[in-house]
Amino acid sequence: MKRKLLRQIVLGSLLAFFCYSCNLEFFDNAEFQENFTWNPSLAIPVGEITYTVSELFQELNDPNVAIVSNSENVVTLLFVEELEAQRASEFLTVDSQGFEGNVNSGIDTPNSPVATVLNVSESFQYDLTLSGQERLDSILFSGGNFTVELSTTIDPNVDFTLTIPSLVNKTTGLPLVVTGSLTQASPTFNSDDLLSDYKGVFTDDGSGGVTSNSVIVELEYEIFVEVGDNLNASDEVRFDVSFTDPEFDRIFGNVGNDELDLSSQTVELDFFSSFENGTIRFADPQFSFRFENSFGFPMGVDFQNVTARNSDGVELALSGPVTEAVQIIDAPTVEQIGQSVRSEIVLNTDNSNIDDLMSHKPIEMTFDVSAITNPPTGPSQYNFLGVDDFLDVDIEVEIPLDIGLDELSAEQTMNFDNGSDLEEVKSLMLRLIVDNGIPMGGTVEMVFRNGSTPVYTITDRPLFSAAPVDGNGRVTENVQTVTDVLLDEDAINAMENATSILVIATVSTTGVGSGQEVKLFSDYEMNIRVAMQADLSISSNGN
Amino acid sequence: MKRLILLSIFVLTLVTNVNAQGNFSFYQLREIVPQASNLQPAFIPQNSFSLGLPGLGGVGVTFQGDFELGDLLYKPNGFGDYTVDFDVLLAATNPTNFMNLDVTANLLHLGIRNKLGAFSLFANARVKMDFHYDDDLMEFLANGNSNRIGGAISFDETMIRLNSFHEIGIGYAKTFLNERLTVGARVKMVTGLFHASTAEGATGSIATDADDFTWTVNIQNGTVNTAGLDLLLNESDYPDNALQDYLISNDNSSMAFDIGAKFDILKTLTVEASVMDIGSITWKETMVNYNTADTTAIISGVQLRGLENSDEVLEDSVTAKFRSNETNMSFKTTLAKRTYAAISYRPSKDDRFSFTAYNNHVFGRFEPTYAVSYNRKAGQFTFGVIGSFRGRNNNTNIGFNMAANLGPFQLYLATDNMMVLNKPELRSKADIRFGINLMFGYKKWRNPERVVNLDEL
């Protein structure tokens, strides 16, 4: 009985304990949140990129600028622009022209008592009509027509011979001769011939001398006088000789001192359009004008109208010795007909202010270059000109990065479409570790923009320090700069709406404050490592 | 379904930092409940014949962890719906932590006691999961690696072992020295069913460079061995009934032993010790080994020049640094031995005070837990209370046990933590063990004066 009571007490106590102590409120009306959020903070290496000097400047993204190394292994910006070429047809044309004259019979024979034959002849000399000061010795015609018209006021029959010694048949080597008869019933005569069968020789002055531009026409005719014919001394035979639309293969002689407007061309330099404030000094820029000339005469080039215009619209003209005298373009000699001769005129700091032009940060340059043929200071040589002859001009701008940069700012706009990637980022510390072996340091500002509206700005801050250089201008050691960019939640929310980033880099070279310029050698590198520490909020439902 | 998930998390939550709970309360049922021989083979039932029926003989479930339920099923500001907050979990994390799950289903227990001693035939199905980790793992889950910039996060102490097997065996216990000494042993055939474990010596760490956050990932012995899981996960790759056939019989069989002894130093003072699960399993069937070669990988990001599809590039650059493969090599795992040591004082024939120590030898650890208990017998009814010390700050758990013989039926129930129903969000442990046995021949082995007249109860 006692044990039974004990058992009942124990069981009752346990039941009472469980009833009293049972508290399951924790489970009341509670379920799992459907959206689980994980909030880790991860420090991860993002990656790295190494820039050589060449690659850095290629980022400025002017496709026309080539980045090369010169013989000194200094990185060099190379820009080649071809100016408009000059063709022979643009330089010299021979216009249509005519030569006319008349030859009187010179005899009065009224009611001729006898039948007789009278001979009359005369030689004429004309000058070619040309546009300039050309003095042509000969022309190899390639097109056009040669026409002859004769008419007479002489009643008796006339047989004529018109000889033009200035037109020589290319095949026979004989001068052009036109013969025919004029009668009362048919007092006119016309003939037409192709000029391309002839060459013009214009050196005969008609009196045995040698000259140029001279066209000789000889007219000779016979008058067949019959009994009873009337012949007046003033009766005449007229001729009209014409070159119609003449074309040529080549001319010889002297083209005189004509002026050629070689080119008036504006070249855009996008490379410099990235630069804004600050100064840039190039120690040894060089412009090489390369002329390829197959015209058979030398030319003198005038560089007085070369100007550089910067983004503010300020123009600076090329000046210096190179602009004070014409620069000679050589020409092929007669023995080199069909060939071209290359001439190079170099504009450098010895003969011009080209360094100032480049330091002007030009966004465009205008080359209004003219030339004069057979310049007085040039070689004296026999001239010729072929229809296919040309004068090609190109400019090679060579800018070795032997430079001084002083707070020079450059801007680049990059597309930004990673805003959605930031949705799970609550805050971010972006670490940039720059190991710089280039004697150029700088700061960077980044403006995140939606369209043109800034939504967040990472203020200007040092990003990389300039490496020191020794007495030989070589970098002695790399300089490491660690930059942490802290972006809080507000900043990240703003950046999510950005569509582009305006990157503004302001750079200075080592020693620029003391007027030092540094050479950027091709083996210089800048290594950038990117790491980040991100406080994430990763939701199970992806939001 | 949500209730199931909640229950699962609740279960897992209660499975963490002292190395496995010891069924202290059930242990105190000793000779009264035949299945207690699963903890101490030297326990000799007090009946001539006992039978634990399949499905009724006993089910024990133990979940234990270092997290309180409220740490894992976190309610922000103390109310609302549950969420998982790794910061809360980190705050609840010790330098080293354990999570344990132990499920034992007694399929059959047949006990016979005669003059030669006590014989038993038993079959159990068991699932045992042990997960060990240190605060680095939780630090990484909660805070990533940002708090360890310039240092390392080590996963060396992160180990997991899941064993599922069934055991069939026989036991024998006999008294010596005029019944002052009792020695028992069991031999059993263990058949492995499912397994997953990190290889012995598997280590891993992530060091983060202080300057550029470069990761140095070190992996040694990076192998996870599994067996049987492929049958579950890729069932369609196997013939029909393959899983059923595998569960009944497979090549993952070996022999294991349990031994125990108890000695009465004085008439009122007894010492006991047992070592369970001595043996190993060589897994020869349905093995899949997931291997990563010993690697020290430097992960310093990707080449940013011309970078497109950055996610793919990053993934490729990381995976390319590791060489992984799958093999089907057999492997051997030792069973996680369990050790009990106890000393008992009996001021009277019906009262017992005990101090018990228990150690789960998984992962080679020796970090015992302790319990003090009091049990009283009242004829065919026995009950006890127990206090055990475990978990961070040596949490104290109060448990109880009871067994009653009602005619041929014996009912028993034991738990180490009966407080679990009172604000379970504050608990980190739950266990229960209960069952029904058929018991015969009780009076034969009792002194006449101790035989209880059931009618008086």
- Residues A453-505 have pLDDT tens digits of 999 999 888 889 999 999 888 999 999 999 999 999 899 888 888 888 888 88
A244 and A272: one domain?
no
| pLDDT on residue A16 | 66
Q: Looking at the domain assignment, is residue A337 inside a domain?
A: yes
A204 and A289: one domain?
no
- What total number of domains does chain B contain? 1
Cα separation, B191 vs B168, in Å, equals: 9
CA atoms within 13 A on the CB side of A390: 8
For residues B186 and B41, is the Cβ–Cβ distance under 8 A? yes
The model's confidence at residue B234, banded by pLDDT at 50, 70 and 90, is confident
CB contact under 8 A, B83 and A36: yes
Residues 6+ apart with CB under 8 A from A305: A264, A317, A366, A367, A368, A369, A370
- pTM here is 0.71
Which residues 397-416 in chain B show a CB within 8 A of chain A? 400, 402, 404
ipTM value for the complex = 0.75
- What total number of domains does chain A contain? 3
Q: Which residues of B touch A18 (CB under 8 A)?
A: 418, 421
The model's confidence at residue B236, banded by pLDDT at 50, 70 and 90, is confident
Mutate to test the interface with A, among B213, B314, B321, B386 (most CBs of A within 10 A): B213
Residues forming a β-bridge with B382: B377, B403
Q: Which residues of A touch B457 (CB under 8 A)?
A: 3-4, 7
The residue range of the domain holding A274 is 75-90+257-400
A179 and A310: one domain?
no
Q: Looking at the domain assignment, is residue B231 inside a domain?
A: yes
CB contact under 8 A, B82 and A36: no
| pLDDT on residue B85 | 86
Q: Which residues of B touch A17 (CB under 8 A)?
A: 418
Q: Looking at the domain assignment, is residue A414 inside a domain?
A: yes
**Mean pLDDT of the B186-210 span:** 94
| Distance between A395 CA and the closest CA of chain B, angstroms | 33
| pLDDT on residue B282 | 94
B8 touches chain A (CB under 8 A): no
The model's confidence at residue B184, banded by pLDDT at 50, 70 and 90, is very high
Cα separation, A140 vs A198, in Å, equals: 7
Give the three-state DSSP class for B450: helix
CB contact under 8 A, A26 and B70: yes
A99 and A221: one domain?
yes
Residue percentage of chain B with pLDDT more than 70: 89
CB contact under 8 A, B301 and A47: yes
Which residues of chain A fall short of a pLDDT of 50? Answer: none
Chain segment B69-78, per-residue pLDDT in tens: 888 788 887 6
A520 and A424: one domain?
yes
CB contact under 8 A, A531 and B423: no
Q: Name the domain boundary from A228, A254, A280.
A: A254
| Ordered DSSP codes for B130-188 | EEEEEHHHHHHHHHTTGGGBTSEEE-TT-EEEEEEEEEEEEEEEEEETTTTEEEEEEEE
| Distance between B416 CA and the closest CA of chain A, angstroms | 14
A104 and A246: one domain?
yes
A295 and A377: one domain?
yes
Is the pLDDT at B17 greater than 50? The verdict is: no
**Mean pLDDT of the B219-240 span:** 90
Q: Looking at the domain assignment, is residue A32 inside a domain?
A: no
| pLDDT on residue B361 | 86
| pLDDT on residue B444 | 61
Q: Name the domain boundary from A348, A381, A400.
A: A400
A220 and A131: one domain?
yes
Q: Looking at the domain assignment, is residue B85 inside a domain?
A: yes
**Closest residue in A to B453 (Cα–Cα):** A1
A117 touches chain B (CB under 8 A): no
A117 and A59: one domain?
no
**Closest residue in A to B149 (Cα–Cα):** A43
Q: Where are the alpha helices (DSSP H) in A285-372?
A: 321-324, 354-359
A541 touches chain B (CB under 8 A): no
Pairing of β A383-386 and β A236-254: antiparallel
Torsion over CA: A172, A176, A177, A180 (sign): positive
**Mean pLDDT of the B3-10 span:** 37
A238 and A265: one domain?
no
Which residues 502-531 in chain A show a CB within 8 A of chain B? 528-531
A486 and A473: one domain?
yes
Q: Which of B213, B422, B425 sits opposite A44 (nearest CB)?
A: B213
Residues 6+ apart with CB under 8 A from B392: B17, B66, B92, B94
Q: Looking at the domain assignment, is residue B456 inside a domain?
A: no
Q: Looking at the domain assignment, is residue B155 inside a domain?
A: yes
**Closest residue in A to B141 (Cα–Cα):** A40
Q: Name the domain boundary from A400, A429, A452.
A: A400
The residue range of the domain holding B283 is 2-450
For residues A149 and A244, is the Cβ–Cβ distance under 8 A? no
Q: Looking at the domain assignment, is residue A516 inside a domain?
A: yes
B299 touches chain A (CB under 8 A): yes
Which residues 340-399 in chain B show a CB within 8 A of chain A? 378-379, 381, 383
Residues 6+ apart with CB under 8 A from A352: A287, A303, A318, A319, A320, A321, A322, A323
Is the pLDDT at B383 greater than 80? The verdict is: yes
**Among the listed ranges B179-188, B238-247, B337-346, which one has the minimum average pLDDT value?**
B238-247
Which residues 20-79 in chain A show a CB within 8 A of chain B? 21-27, 30-33, 36-49
CB contact under 8 A, A43 and B144: yes
Q: Looking at the domain assignment, is residue B455 inside a domain?
A: no
Mutate to test the interface with A, among B137, B304, B417, B418 (most CBs of A within 10 A): B304
B191-221 in b/e form (b: 16+ CB < 10 A) is: bbbbbbbbbeebbbbbbbbeebbbbebbbbe
Token pair in block for residue B150: 């310039």
Q: Looking at the domain assignment, is residue B255 inside a domain?
A: yes
Q: Which of B146, B299, B305 sits opposite A45 (nearest CB)?
A: B299
Q: Looking at the domain assignment, is residue B31 inside a domain?
A: yes
CB contact under 8 A, A531 and B145: no
Q: Which residues of A touch B430 (CB under 8 A)?
A: none
A176-185 own/partner pairs: CB under 8 Å, 24+ apart: A176/A146, A178/A148, A178/A150, A180/A150, A181/A157, A182/A150, A182/A151, A182/A152, A182/A154, A182/A157, A182/A158, A182/A221, A182/A237, A183/A157, A183/A158, A184/A155, A184/A156, A184/A157
Chain pair A-B, CB pairs under 8 angstroms: 133
| pLDDT on residue B11 | 35
Q: Looking at the domain assignment, is residue B238 inside a domain?
A: yes
Is the pLDDT at B56 greater than 50? The verdict is: yes
Chain segment B404-418, per-residue pLDDT in tens: 888 888 999 999 888
What CATH number has the domain bearing residue A425? Answer: 2.60.120
